[in-house]
Amino acid sequence: MKRSMKVFLSFLFIAASVINPLEAAPKQKKSHKLVIAPVADSTDDLGFSKEETQANPAFQKDLEARTDMLRIHQTLGLITAVPLTTEFILGITTANNVAKGNSDTGLHTTLGLATAGLYITTAMFAILAPKPKDLKPTGNTELHQILSWIHMPLMILTPLVGDMANDRIANGQPVGDLGTIHGIMAGTLLGSYLTSLAVITF
C-alpha cells in the first residue's frame, strides 16, 4: 500500500512538473490585424479638382452661346455656297466674254462683292463665338478649321486680283496672267470652301 502510494505521489509530481511549465508559458494567440485603407477626404484625393466636379455656370453659358452661334455659322455657310458657286461659273463666262472683246464685268464684280460680304458675316459667327477653356477641335471639326486657313485668305486675295484685272480691262489694257491667276485662286477658293463645308455637314 505504501509502495502504491509512493508510485501515485511520484506520478502526481511528474504530472505537475510537466503541466506547470505549460501553464506558465504565455499563450500565443494569432492576431489578425485588419488594415483599412484611409478613405479619401475629398475628390481632390481621387485626382479630380473641384472645378472638374462642380457645376461651372460660366462654362455652360459659353458652351451654349458657342453652340447657338456655330449653328448660325453653319446655316450661313450653306447659304454662302450658292452665290460662291454661281460666282465661279459666272467668272468663267465673263472671262470668255472678255477674251472675245467684251469689257462688261459688272455683274461678276457685284456678285463677287455680295458673296464676299456674306462670307465675312458667316466667318464672324465662328470667330466671335465664345470658346471655353481647354476646348480643342477634333476630327472633322479640326479639318474644317484647317481648310478655313486656305479659303479665308483666298476670299480676300481673289477679289483683289480680280479688281486689278478689271482695271486693266476698263483701261483697254491686256489682262495678261492676272486672269489666269484670278481663275486659279477662285477655283482653289471654291474647292477648299466646299470641302470644308462637306466635312462638317456630312
> What single DSSP character describes residue 37?
P
From CA 163, how far away is CA 165, in angstroms rounded?
5
Report the pLDDT value the prediction gives residue 63, as an integer from 0 to 100: 84
**Mean pLDDT for the stretch of residues 60-86:** 93
Spatial contact of 122 and 76, defined as CB atoms under 8 Å apart: yes
Query: CA-CA distances (angstroms) from residue 181 to 43, 96, 156, 188?
Result: 61, 15, 14, 11
Report the pLDDT value the prediction gives residue 10, as an integer from 0 to 100: 53
Report the pLDDT value the prediction gives residue 129, as an integer from 0 to 100: 93
Give the containing element (helix H, strand E) for 8: helix 2-24
Write the pLDDT tens digit of every residue in 150-167.
999 999 999 999 999 999
| Distance from chain centroid for Cα 105 | 42
Report the pLDDT value the prediction gives residue 82, as an integer from 0 to 100: 98
pLDDT more than 90, % of the chain: 60
Report the pLDDT value the prediction gives residue 55, as an integer from 0 to 100: 63
Question: How is residue 15 written as a grid cell?
Answer: 504530472
Report the pLDDT value the prediction gives residue 50, as an integer from 0 to 100: 52
- pLDDT of 112 > 90? The answer is yes
Residue type, 135: L
Write the pLDDT tens digit of every residue in 133-150.
777 888 999 999 999 999
Write the pLDDT tens digit of every residue in 11-68.
444 444 444 444 444 444 444 443 333 333 443 433 434 554 456 777 788 888 999 9
- pLDDT of 110 > 90? The answer is yes
The whole-chain average pLDDT of the chain stands at 80
As a whole number of Å, the CA-based R_g of the chain is 44
Q: How far apart are the first and last CA of the chain?
A: 116
Report the pLDDT value the prediction gives residue 201, as an integer from 0 to 100: 87
Question: What share of residues in the chain are helix, strand, coil (percent, to 5)?
Answer: 75, 0, 25
> Which residue, 136, 32, 24, 126, is CA-closest to 80?
126
> Which residue, 192, 4, 175, is CA-closest to 99?
175
Greater confidence, 27 or 109? 109
From CA 76, how far away is CA 129, in angstroms rounded?
14
Question: How is residue 190 written as a grid cell?
Answer: 471654291
Confidence of residue 121 (pLDDT cuts 50, 70, 90): very high
CA dihedral 72, 75, 76, 79 (to 10 degrees): -170
Report the pLDDT value the prediction gives residue 48, as an integer from 0 to 100: 38
State pTM to two decimals.
0.71
What are the phi and psi torsion angles at 199 (to 5°)? -70, -25
- pLDDT of 183 > 80? The answer is yes
